[in-house]
Structure 1
Amino acid sequence: MCGIIGILGRPDVSGLLFDGLKRLEYRGYDSAGIATLVDGRIERRRAKGKLANLEKLLAAHPLTGTTGIGHTRWATHGRPSEVNAHPHATGKVALVHNGIIENFQELREELAAAGHSFVTETDTETIAHLLTQYLDEGKTPEEAVAAGMGRLEGAFALAILFAGWPDLIIGARRGSPLAIGYGTGAMYLGSDAIALAPLSNRITYLQEDDWAVLTPEGARFFNHDRRVSRKVQQTALSGAVIGKGNYRHFMMKEIAEQPAVIGKTLQVFLDPNKRRIKLPAMPLDFAKLDRLTITACGTAYLAGFVAKYWFEQIARLPVEIDVASEFRYRNTPLPANGATLVISQSGETADTLAALRYAKAQGNEIVAILNVLESSIGREADIVLPILAGPEIGVASTKAFTAQLTVLAALVLAAAKARQVIDLRHEVELYNALVSLPGKVAEVLDNDDHLQKVAAEISKARTVLFLGRGSAYPLALEGALKLKEITYIHAEGYAAGEMKHGPIALIDGNVPVVILAPHDNLFEKTTSNLQEVHARGGRIILISDAEGIARAGHGATHALELPQVDPFVAPILYAVPLQLLAYYAAVAKGTDIDQPRNLAKSVTVE
């Protein structure tokens, strides 16, 4: 959500800033802008809509200078427009901002009474005027930022330019990520490491309430009024890593990477000699847990929902799960002998981070499953388990979801062993099922011709229903979510047994119904729901294995056959055709697949 880039000490800085904004498109945005210092003056170029509009503006009205900041904005306060686009500026200050200032109205009224005039609807403009007020009072830029941070309430990541200070950028963060990059005679600032690739591979991540002073000599770090030190770490990210390669869209590239990603993730958790799961050394004792609480947002929440079935059925561990945006507001009591598991691709999801802090305050051990280990959640969790998916650029999560499920499956087997509720034979069976997954996923990806034809039909629908039982129920929710995200077709996921409690009223010959039916112990129940849909003229798309299709496929309009797998790992495999259905339907509709309207990749505000 929103993207920040800042560069100090490089010629043609506007071109480099624009390239940085291109790398940040994946985060979601509706306007963009750049500001540089030209002979000490602040100059800006801003445009509503896609970066192509800003590119045309820069071509017509170039910006010079060696120091500048840039931003892709996802609107919160104020509609998308050129006026509301960042950077916001006064004659003395220009800044870009991710987050929400909760007390901006109070500050705005105070500054208006002091003679400041506002031209936008945003909370961000208030920060620029607040810093300007402090400069007018005789404070230095550093003193103004230190004072300003004490007045701001809410979440923010800031990159700030000061007129007359060509060798200075100040960055600050509270509740929203910000990274500093190091160069030779140059410094960089970005909302994440991807923003800085390939400018720098030496990165420092600001911690909560940090602010940093960037000059050509390096960076100085402060927390409140105290000088602090922050470590520099290497990052492997580069422009090549985040490229699309030969694929038309990032989403398809990331879907295709799943066999390798699942295999790479498994290598961390498998002991091939003993054919058993091995976890990194961790202080959590599953045998002593009374309950596990899982919380996350969006697709990560649905990965946790699948894991609820696994933990309860295989590890015999009671699980409570809730979306992070609701979890802490229920003020739910957490057991003393409990742990909380949070899941996040970015590790910066604001609601999930807040839920983590709530659970930690109640004495729960925190386990985090993350793709970005250096993130805020990664720093605050007690135990971090990596998914090793690599950068995921497409807004609709694909490879991160299946990698999260892979880690969760390994965690479940470890918990079952620790709780002594699984015998060796069954453990080895499930281990082998996990090991076989990369090949099975590759098989689905290599045989998607029929699936593409089905997706073309789905693209013409106004409403699509997804049904599943057991661990296929969260997958039905995920399939509906994927379709909504990138095709804008209304879709709903339901537990198949709940269909007759309302959704069956929607079924007619114009409504495709996707039924997830692996041949497991719930198969007969699911097929009875299939017959109910068939009796009402619904267009059934059955996703099952050969045996399932042989037994129930006669009632389906289309049957998509998947390889036979153990029911334990079926949710991971069955996620792939759901991703492909959504992707090919979106291709048929011609929507913006990698950057769907109104969506952001990393949601860093509540």
Structure 2
Amino acid sequence: MCGIIGCVGTDETVSTLMDGLSNLEYRGYDSAGVAVQNGSGIKTFKRAGNVSEVRDALPDDPPSGTVGIGHTRWSTHGPPTDQNAHPHTDPEGRVAVVHNGVIENYDKLRSQLEATGNQFVSDTDTEVIPHLIAHYLDGGLEPETAFRRALERLEGSYAVAAIIEEEETILSARHGTPLVVGIDDGAFFLASDVPAFLERTSDVVYLEDGEIARVDPDGFSMMDIKGDPIESEIEHIEWDAKETGKGSYDHYMLKEIDTQPTALRQTIEGRIDPETGSVSLDGLEAGAFEDYDQVDFVACGTSYHAALYGSKLLQDAGVEATAYRASEYGASSNLVDDSTLAIPVTQSGETADTLSAMAEAAEAGATTVAVTNVMGSTAARRADETVFIRAGPEIGVAATKTFSSQVVTLLLLARRLAEDIDGTEPRDDFDEVLAALERLPDDLQYVLESSDARSVAHDYVDSEAYLFIGRHLGFPVAKEGALKFKEITYEHAESFTSGRLKHGPLALVTPSTPIFAIATGEERSKTLTNATEAKSRGAPIVLVTDDEETGAELADKRLTVPETHELLEGLLANVQLQLVSYYAANRLDREIDKPRNLAKSVTVE
């Protein structure tokens, strides 16, 4: 989704805005722009393309001023053009607005405004907002009241920030789309995501739906749509600003792949005791889940694959668990009631489909336990309980370290559930699982240092298509491997349970369709059999396994992982596939951190 930045009280407003947009470019990169209140009016600069193109288009002497807003766009209404780039203004340029989300009634509002003589210059839904604010200003309302009246007319989702001529103020509001205020000495920031201003402050206030924030050089205040004041709580973010930079890496994705050992150490720190086989999760006491007999995971994309992994862990313990794609979840058809535990899995905590499924489950009586990476996110605030994956900020659009941390968190949560829910059979070797989990960061580091993924990627980079197969816990890894490959290489990649291969997908197999076979866990022999069937039809086989001898005659290429507990083998195999995707995309000269048509957090349904 798009990125918003605003600042008040800084001497170098334009450079601050541009830095914020650069930090947010993972959220949108079709076009970008800034608007600054310089005391004699509002100056706007915007361009189709990425943030650097806007930076290059700025005048040598950019406008001064202490109030400004900026935006980097991921297109919904209208193509990426200069006219469709944000900020948008009213015809006289008195009001400038940036907006994330979708105004569902914009056609109706635009027709009404055009009937009164307003002329529009863009294809966007956003442009109706500054026109509405200007309409109420013309009617004699004060800026704050005009802003609130305009919001009352909007239907849909929005995070919106506006500046008005001759006002040293940013007015902002959210409904269904994230927005956060940053607080520093003598300066205030506004953004769709904390990394926008993290190098300047880590003290924040998160807006809830229906809340309005007014930010000016003297401070900030919160109110509701009627203008009544609201108390706000300042939170401190623990993320290190250095984590949001690339450092010496060419791409965020490679940095985030390489920092997975650190992320996993953070995930398990203080949560496991291998000697006793015990798990402690963020204050969830023993017996917390004894009243539930059904677990529904809801998630999208990579988080769905982590949820699928988690559901299989629970199924093995005898828990009725299902992973649903959040966009397809219907609580009413799933017999959800107060004995259901709904677990939304979402890296950002802001994924619109997941939040919608979470709300539907809660309305049907389910208890919700969010598994997320972001403190203060909507999912974290709305859930009955939250378990944080502690992976640290992830900037690359293609999720890597957060998948690993999600799976490990779900492994620990699955253990807690299996211990609490009646009729389950918790593993009797869980002390061995925890011992292997404690070794996992080191095992993962070994994979990173010894991987032959670069060679494999270069050998097969000109293939027609790529197939990924696995069984049981290897299947979510196969799905995630295929997703990563298609996300950043733009090449066709598909995943199947190994047994499905001979029921149709074999028709796709040619000598130009390498098959990545995840031969891990108890069912590896069946996967090897299916891979052999594909090889007999001419497919090259890339075997991902922990056994140097397994499939010696079968494999054309081999990606080996250290031997570990069967529950964790898939995570090590997944890192190998992440590296293959990365090196293939790099060889193809793709925009690895900003793959076409994709955004990090999808905050509209």
* TM-score, normalised relative to structure 1: 0.96
Aligned counterparts of 1:240 and 1:527: Cα–Cα separation in 2:
43
Q: 1:114 aligns with which of 107, 113, 116?
A: 116
1:324-343 aligned within 5 A: 324-328=326-330, 331-343=333-345
Aligned twin of 1:436: 439
Is 1:88 matched with 2:91? no
Is 1:523 matched with 2:511? no
Q: 2:157 is paired with a residue of what secondary structure? A: strand
Aligned twin of 1:229: 231
Please tell me the residue identity of whatever aligns with 2:186. Answer: G
Is 1:542 matched with 2:543? yes
Q: 1:52 is paired with a residue of what secondary structure? A: helix
Deviation at 1:573, TM superposition (A): 1.7
Q: 1:219 is paired with a residue of what secondary structure? A: strand
Aligned counterparts of 2:122 and 2:330: Cα–Cα separation in 1:
33
Deviation at 1:29, TM superposition (A): 1.9
1:366-445 aligned within 5 A: 366-419=368-421, 421-422=424-425, 425-445=428-448
Please tell me the residue identity of whatever aligns with 1:505. Answer: A
Deviation at 1:63, TM superposition (A): 2.8
Deviation at 1:185, TM superposition (A): 2.9
Is 1:480 matched with 2:495? no
Aligned counterparts of 1:329 and 1:46: Cα–Cα separation in 2:
43
CA contact (8 A) 2:275 2:431 kept: no
Deviations 1:318-372 (A, max 9, x none): 1122111111487543133111000111111111111111111011000011100
Is 1:295 matched with 2:298? yes
CA contact (8 A) 1:46 1:86 kept: yes
Aligned twin of 1:246: 248
Deviation at 1:423, TM superposition (A): 6.3
Is 1:577 matched with 2:584? no
Aligned counterparts of 2:84 and 2:294: Cα–Cα separation in 1:
47
Aligned twin of 1:308: 311
Q: 1:10 is paired with a residue of what secondary structure? A: coil
**Which moved further from structure 2: 39-48 or 372-381?**
39-48
CA contact (8 A) 1:5 1:71 kept: yes
Aligned counterparts of 2:104 and 2:282: Cα–Cα separation in 1:
40
Aligned twin of 1:562: 561
Please tell me the residue identity of whatever aligns with 1:78. Answer: G
Deviations 1:269-307 (A, max 9, x none): 213552422233337743332210000110001100111
Aligned twin of 2:48: 48
Please tell me the residue identity of whatever aligns with 2:460. Answer: I
Unaligned runs of 5+ in 2: none
CA contact (8 A) 1:193 1:237 kept: no
Aligned twin of 1:11: 11
Aligned counterparts of 2:174 and 2:310: Cα–Cα separation in 1:
33
Q: 2:581 is paired with a residue of what secondary structure? A: helix
Aligned twin of 1:154: 156
CA contact (8 A) 1:587 1:593 kept: yes
1:494-505 aligned within 5 A: 494-505=496-507
**Which moved further from structure 2: 63-72 or 233-242?**
233-242
Deviations 1:390-432 (A, max 9, x none): 0001110000000000000111122222247446842212222
The structure in which a higher percent of residues are helix is 1
Structure 1 residues 382 and 158: CA distance shift in structure 2, 3 A: same
Is 1:68 matched with 2:68? yes
Please tell me the residue identity of whatever aligns with 2:493. Answer: A
Q: 2:107 aligns with which of 105, 120, 142?
A: 105
Please tell me the residue identity of whatever aligns with 1:428. Answer: D
Aligned counterparts of 2:389 and 2:183: Cα–Cα separation in 1:
27
Aligned twin of 1:177: 178
CA contact (8 A) 1:289 1:339 kept: yes
Deviation at 1:499, TM superposition (A): 0.8
Deviation at 1:467, TM superposition (A): 0.6
Q: 1:228 is paired with a residue of what secondary structure? A: coil
Aligned counterparts of 2:312 and 2:556: Cα–Cα separation in 1:
30
CA contact (8 A) 1:291 1:335 kept: no
Aligned counterparts of 2:29 and 2:339: Cα–Cα separation in 1:
43
Deviation at 1:60, TM superposition (A): 5.2
Deviations 1:182-230 (A, max 9, x none): 2333221111111112222221111111011111111111122121111
Aligned twin of 1:594: 593
Aligned counterparts of 2:61 and 2:513: Cα–Cα separation in 1:
51
Structure 1 residues 209 and 328: CA distance shift in structure 2, 3 A: farther
Q: 1:71 is paired with a residue of what secondary structure? A: strand
Q: 2:496 is paired with a residue of what secondary structure? A: strand
Deviations 1:241-270 (A, max 9, x none): 211122221111111111111122111421
Q: Root-mean-square deviation (CA), in Å?
A: 1.6
Please tell me the residue identity of whatever aligns with 1:98. Answer: N
Q: 2:15 is paired with a residue of what secondary structure? A: helix
CA contact (8 A) 2:189 2:197 kept: yes
Aligned twin of 1:28: 28
Q: 1:563 is paired with a residue of what secondary structure? A: coil
Deviations 1:57-108 (A, max 9, x none): 0145733322110000000000010000000002221010000001111111
Aligned twin of 1:186: 187
Aligned counterparts of 1:303 and 1:352: Cα–Cα separation in 2:
14
Aligned counterparts of 2:558 and 2:39: Cα–Cα separation in 1:
67
CA contact (8 A) 1:306 1:571 kept: no
Q: 1:129 is paired with a residue of what secondary structure? A: helix
For this pair of structures, how many residues does the alignment match? 600
Aligned counterparts of 1:380 and 1:336: Cα–Cα separation in 2:
17
Aligned counterparts of 1:33 and 1:474: Cα–Cα separation in 2:
40
Please tell me the residue identity of whatever aligns with 1:554. Answer: E
Please tell me the residue identity of whatever aligns with 1:537. Answer: G
Q: 1:261 is paired with a residue of what secondary structure? A: helix
**Which moved further from structure 2: 66-75 or 557-566?**
557-566
Please tell me the residue identity of whatever aligns with 1:560. Answer: L
CA contact (8 A) 2:89 2:130 kept: yes
Q: 2:533 is paired with a residue of what secondary structure? A: helix
Please tell me the residue identity of whatever aligns with 1:57. Answer: A
Please tell me the residue identity of whatever aligns with 1:178. Answer: L
Structure 1 residues 11 and 279: CA distance shift in structure 2, 3 A: closer
Aligned counterparts of 1:233 and 1:530: Cα–Cα separation in 2:
52
Aligned counterparts of 2:186 and 2:435: Cα–Cα separation in 1:
53
State the identity as a percent: 39
CA contact (8 A) 2:477 2:571 kept: no
Q: 1:274 aligns with which of 248, 273, 276?
A: 276
Aligned twin of 2:511: 509
**Which moved further from structure 2: 97-106 or 432-441?**
432-441
Aligned counterparts of 1:554 and 1:28: Cα–Cα separation in 2:
46
Please tell me the residue identity of whatever aligns with 1:441. Answer: L
Aligned counterparts of 1:423 and 1:121: Cα–Cα separation in 2:
56
**Which moved further from structure 2: 80-89 or 493-502?**
493-502
Unaligned runs of 5+ in 1: none
Aligned twin of 1:447: 450
Aligned counterparts of 1:216 and 1:38: Cα–Cα separation in 2:
14
CA contact (8 A) 1:373 1:384 kept: no
Aligned counterparts of 2:17 and 2:37: Cα–Cα separation in 1:
13
